[in-house]
Structure 1
Amino acid sequence: MIINHNLMANNALRNMNINSNNSSKAMEKLSSGLRINRAGDDAAGLAISEKMRGQINGLNQASTNSQDAISLIQTAEGALNETHSILQRMRTLAVQSSSDTNTATDRSQIQKEVDQLAQEIGRIGNTTEFNTQKLLDGNFSGTFQIGANENQNLTLDVSDMRSFALGITGKAELTNSGTYTPGAGVGDTLTDGTYSVAKNGATYELQDSSGNVVAKSADGLDYTTQAADGSAGDDHLVFTQAVTSGSVTVATDAAGTTTYKGTAQFTNSGLQAGNYTYDDTNKTLVDGNGTIVAVTADGVTFKGNVNGASVTVFAATVALTDGDAVNVGGINVSDQSSANSAITTINNALETVSTQRSKLGAYQNRLEHTINNLGVSSENLTSAESRIRDVDMASEMSEYSKNSILSQAAQAMLAQANTQPQQVLQLLR
């Protein structure tokens, strides 16, 4: 018998420590719900689990991205739905105006509605946004990340859906004041009223509401009045900008002051339907929101961005002055021939919008399938990752119970082993 080394106690202590450590690990797993709490629990399993977690998180975010992309598409498509409705109304008006049961006055009223509708299409195109990004002005090109890994994305381009791109804008119009100079003749003075401008061969004519010619011009700048008997008068109405179409208004106020205003029209090569103001200080043409739509060096030729390129959007006869208002209306339906042609143009615009809406709808349907696929993939990966990382609570509880009992037994045996050296005292009596 020896007393310097109690081997039985040491053995019991070692086993008790092992069992206590195993019980501690089992308790940690039971409390966390994880089989792997540190790399030492399963180094390879941890590495695999982390890769799977990266994939799962990426798939879940890709699903969110796809849902956001659908929201963007729905925003654009919803705006185009209203554009479609406006174009249908414009087509109806064009069909109405193409019938000669309408008078010139009737057609002028129809033209006013067409102008407003065209401006609304331009406004929709300029203001439809998603998260501050404009969608319908032709500049949107988006790439959506719809997968968990690099280059798993989808690209969407939205065409310009504004009035000019759809071909339903009219000419650029500038209302300018004329200078009236009376001649020596009698009876040929222009009276108050609105006169329409018509082209007769190489001559521009001012006609009253009855169709009578009251003044003629060779260039649209200098109109010479006509006497009631049809002979040439000698009064002159001179404009700064050539008035070759549109109308001329003569109005006398209560103070007896008469103003003469005519609408000058220029070929529109890029301006959307809307109202613009010339800023001579900065040499720019701005819309109602203060956004610059064109720039000029001389006040005559104006350049703007059309399909990503700088082009001349319109050119005036002479330099504009500060504050001049440039208005762009809708497609011309003011006469039978123009209204008849407008029907085909509007049909083409309807087809363009339909094509864009169909494209957006196809992308939306694709993204809905993408979301379904991402959900299934995430679910399956989560299941696989769970088998690696999560603890089987029933199995681990059995392990914990076993280690707890063994630990208690080892503790009891340690107590017994510690009493063994006391037997040596019997030999010393």
Structure 2
Amino acid sequence: MRLNQNMESLNIYRNYKKNLSNQAVSLNRISTGTKINSAKDNPNKLGVSEGLRLQIRSLQMAEKNIQDGVSMMQTVDGTLSTINETLTRIKELTVKSGGATSEDDLDVIQNEINQLKEHIDYTVNNSDFNGVKLLTSDRVVNNDYPKFLDHKVGSTSDEDIKIPIFNITTNMLTDNEGNSIANLDVTDKNNLDKNLSSIDGAIQMVTSVRSKYGAIQNRMETSAENLTGSSSNLVSTESRIRDTDMALEMAEYSRTAILNETSIALMQQSNKFPQEILRVLENMK
């Protein structure tokens, strides 16, 4: 045994400081819920975790974009449904005008048709989703080749859905011969066949536009489901890398706590060794 340096006590103290540091790490992990709280904890896994977090947040924002897109498609579908009903009423009135009707009756029918046509234009011009209008555009000349709106549905540069923008005002709702319902006039019974042809063409055009938007909505909903699955998998992976295993850390905290208490008790005993040596020396006199 050495008198100048109590090596046993110093060794116990060194182990005590080490256990105390380990206990502090465990306590920090338990209190924060994460086992990587700074770069020094695990530099390699920190980089992987941050990359996963970036992907997760990008996918979550893409999901929100898709939800907005679905809401926009639902809004457009509601508008098109209203226009379809209005066109159906216009056709009923047009067929009625071909029956036994007087000139006064034809004027009444024409007046109602004019009101319905104005209703279509008003509905189209005032239908939008957050300022985005899909059913009217001054830049669309031919509805067979519409302008497109790029809608982001993923986290990479090429994950877009092209949403067509149509113009279905009464001037653009025509049949194959170009007869527009904007020029619909039932006061002249000689125009009955042309009127019915233009209405059928308008209904077919609106139905076609509605089906295209319905297909886009289905695609968006499928993409949303795929993104949800991918995001969940990434969250699970990131959790395994970064989140604390509470059971393991509680066991580690308890272990280091016991060792620290034991070290304190041993240091108290080892610090008495020099005094015991002095007593031995006293007895040697």
Q: TM-score, normalised by structure 1?
A: 0.60
Greater relative contact order (Cα < 8 A, sep 6+): 2
Task: Tell me if the contact between 1:98 and 1:337 (Cα under 8 Å) persists in the aligned partners.
Answer: no
**Which of 355, 375, 390 is matched with 2:243 structurally?**
390
Aligned to 1:419: 272
Aligned to 2:263: 410
Cα drift, residue 141 of structure 1: 4.1
Aligned to 1:88: 88
Q: TM-score, normalised by structure 2?
A: 0.88
Task: Tell me if the contact between 1:95 and 1:340 (Cα under 8 Å) persists in the aligned partners.
Answer: no
**Which of 159, 165, 178 is matched with 2:166 structurally?**
159
1:355-374 paired onto structure 2 within 5 Å? 355-374=208-227
**Which of 333, 337, 346 is matched with 2:190 structurally?**
337
Cα drift, residue 165 of structure 1: 0.8
Cα drift, residue 84 of structure 1: 0.4
Task: Tell me if the contact between 1:34 and 1:391 (Cα under 8 Å) persists in the aligned partners.
Answer: yes
Cα RMSD, aligned residues only: 2.1
Aligned to 1:32: 32
Residues of 1 paired with 2:74 and 2:158: CA distance? 24
Residues of 2 paired with 1:103 and 1:370: CA distance? 57
Residues of 1 paired with 2:157 and 2:50: CA distance? 18
1:3-152 paired onto structure 2 within 5 Å? 3-99=3-99, 101-138=100-137, 141-152=148-159
Cα drift, residue 158 of structure 1: 2.2
- Structure label with greater radius of gyration: 1
Secondary structure in structure 2 of the residue aligned to 1:142 = strand
Question: Residues 291-333 of structure 1: CA distance to partner in whole angstroms, max 9, x if unpaired?
Answer: xxxxxxxxxxxxxxxxxxxxxxxxxxxxxxxxxxxxxx65122
Task: Kindly tell me the number of residue pairs found equivalent between the two proteins.
Answer: 271
Question: Residues 62-115 of structure 1: CA distance to partner in whole angstroms, max 9, x if unpaired?
Answer: 11211111111111110111100111111122222234x223222222111111
Residues of 2 paired with 1:412 and 1:151: CA distance? 66
Superposed structure 1 runs of 4+ greater than 3 Å apart:
none
Residues of 1 paired with 2:74 and 2:108: CA distance? 35
Residues of 2 paired with 1:54 and 1:149: CA distance? 12
Secondary structure in structure 2 of the residue aligned to 1:131 = coil
Q: Give the residue type in structure 1 aligned to 2:222.
A: H
Secondary structure in structure 2 of the residue aligned to 1:162 = coil
Task: Tell me if the contact between 2:124 and 2:136 (Cα under 8 Å) persists in the aligned partners.
Answer: yes
Residues of 2 paired with 1:141 and 1:121: CA distance? 23
Task: Tell me if the contact between 1:116 and 1:330 (Cα under 8 Å) persists in the aligned partners.
Answer: no
Question: Residues 184-209 of structure 1: CA distance to partner in whole angstroms, max 9, x if unpaired?
Answer: xxxxxxxxxxxxxxxxxxxxxxxxxx
Q: Could you tell me the percent identity over the aligned residues?
A: 35
Judge which range, 79-88 or 402-411, deviates more.
Answer: 402-411
- Indicate the structure with greater strand content: 1
Residues of 1 paired with 2:200 and 2:20: CA distance? 84
Unpaired segments ≥5 residues, structure 2 = 139-146
Cα drift, residue 138 of structure 1: 2.6
